[in-house]
Amino acid sequence: MTEPTFATLVSRWYEENARDLPWREPGVGAWAILVSEVMLQQTPVVRVLPAWRAWLARWPDPAALAADTPAEAIRMWGRLGYPRRAVRLRDCALAIVERHGGAVPDKLDQLLALPGVGTYTARAVAAFAYGQRHPVVDTNVRRVVSRAVAGEPDAGPATRPADLVACAELLPLEPAAAALASAAFMELGAVVCTASSPRCPACPVESVCAWRASGQEAPAGPTRRPQRYAGTDRQVRGLLLGVLRETTGPVPHQRLDQVWSDDVQRARALAGLVTDGLVEPVGEAAFRLVGDGPATPLPLP
């Protein structure tokens, strides 16, 4: 009898142990999956869940978001962090309406051409929304493949072309099975094969794991040191955005001055928000969220 493949073992485990997440439910469309993938970048699932539901309740399809203002996208993004993702998601919705009649495309090259959609997100949508065979490689997947196949305790800080090749070699040839395996690899890395406290006895591929066989220990801490937040420009930017989100239209400079006492740092943070396309000046003494004005419906082509 043929031994089950690596992908088969992980996929069987996934079908019995996967977390119950709404974007994984049958019938969830490509737009909802695209939104989830953008929100989940550098943000924990527990924070994404309510934001994802609220976002889709307001903008159930790309055309709905495209017809609204970037300011409203920033407001709805709330405190998920990295708010440029909200603007990029709206830019993506505009492109989907203009280029694809309002439907998220199913071809990888078309997904990659959308604003704000990179290598990971494009392949994730192609696999999870359309059941295609593509290597979907995030930090969790790279760690699983690095440990189980290469015998290394960690995969390093960034995705390389070799990571895509290594993952693709593990995927079944049948597209639907490959898409399932891609989701399974990711889930395994997220909940079992974690960075510093892997639960090896619960792993479906422990018996064939090269890293486990080597006897190496997991890293004592994260491979990348967590970024400090308190007192940084990121904190000041968040405070400024908080005031602007709560107000419709221009906010006087004097009101923003109350957010942070360090004039130089506050001015630098505000200038960064303008440069990033999140905030725009109004006259010489006020600022507002970018495009914080009447929405103009965008007709389908």
Tokens of 171: 């995927």
Q: Which of 3, 15, 16, 37 is catalytic?
A: 37
Rounded to the nearest angstrom, the gap between the alpha carbon of residue 254 and the centroid of all alpha carbons in its chain is 35
Cα(205)–Cα(207) distance, integer angstroms: 5
Give the Cβ contact number of residue 3 at 10 Å.
8
For 257, phi and psi rounded to 5 degrees? -60, -25
Is 37 catalytic? The answer is yes
Cα(255)–Cα(259) distance, integer angstroms: 7
Looking at the DSSP bridge assignments, the partners of residue 283 are: none
Cα(179)–Cα(92) distance, integer angstroms: 23
- The torsion defined by the Cα of 185, 186, 188 and 191, in degrees rounded to 10, comes to 180
- 248: Cα within 13 Å, side-chain hemisphere: 5
Residues in the chain: 301
Cα(18)–Cα(40) distance, integer angstroms: 17
Q: Judge whether 135 and 164 are in contact, CB under 8 Å.
A: yes
Give the Cβ contact number of residue 184 at 10 Å.
24
Cα(277)–Cα(64) distance, integer angstroms: 21
Q: Annotated catalytic sites, by residue? A: 37
